[in-house]
Amino acid sequence: MELLFLVLVSLHILKTEALVGVPWCYQSQKYEQPHCKDPRQWHSSYATCKGNKQSPINIVTKNVVYDKNLKPLNFEGYDVKGTSKWTIANNGHTVKVTLGTSPKIGGGGLEKKYKAIELHWHWGVEDPQQYLPGSEHSIDGEKQAMELHVVHIRDDVSDITEAKKYADGVAVLAFFIKVDEENKNYAALINELENIKYKGRTEQIEPLPLSSLLPPEKELGKYYRYEGSLTTPDCHEGVIWTIFEKPIELSSLQISEFSKVHFNGQNSTRMVENFRPVQFLNERKVYWSSASTHLPTAKVLMLVLMLTFILSSLCQ
């Protein structure tokens, strides 16, 4: 009986260690790490990754629900250059910046204030002809070159571990990044990518006003809102997502610099296509900001048809 007990305990310990120690990865890493768990397998080690409120999603504009409470967000301290340095790091999955101070957001349908703790990016891969898109979210099936996530936690908690104890503990602002002209506000940050080329590398950098990395605040009134999850394991659900319509603009050269970072050490795979595929919406609703004057595609089509009918009737 004691032997059986010891065997069961040992098996439990081995199973726990296996789950904790299982490396997760993106599909683009499978060639180099064939045994790592890619997004299709995350749920085998992290059960929440198979939940009903997973992110990212494809936003179908004809199905979004207008919400008059989604006014423009209030940004506090976003335009201030803090005194504490930022930490930029290659964590083996993305380029992550840990903020030295905590700008805050409120309003915009949020019931609490949230403080910013980090930002990170997801991107695609460059081929000879074009840059293949790598944003995580999409709108009507269309993706952009990259996506920036500014991660916030409730103002009344100390860290993200504590924030995960609440159903509304985490709020993420998502910004699409499209190929356009050079963005000088990103120059200093992109120059640091050379110093964090390999996994585990970190650098201290001078802080920037967080707003300098985003579109102008006056253009941030148009957004979508839904309840989702983190897009990396443990895929924690309880994340309030805000996806802005107005994209950030970077040049193709600036965007390609992100792909020069590596997933691991020297001679390892370059960090490309570090995004999770879109997840099922299930029973969730996607809400549309009342500040937006942009009509979803289906509504535009309906308006055109109505005007055409009226004009044809007048001409008869």
| Residues noted as catalytic | 93
Sign, Cα dihedral of 278, 215, 118, 253: positive
Question: 50 vs 40, 45, 164, 313, CA distance in Å?
Answer: 10, 10, 17, 53
User: What is the identity of the amino acid at 240?
Assistant: I
- Please give the biggest Cα pair distance in the chain: 94
Instruction: For residue 197, give every residue at least 6 positions away whose Cβ sits within 8 Å of its Cβ, in sequence order, or none.
Output: 90, 260, 261, 262
Tokens of 121: 């990016």
d(CA 183, CA 41): 37
- Under a CB-based contact definition with an 8 Å cutoff, are residues 198 and 22 in contact? no
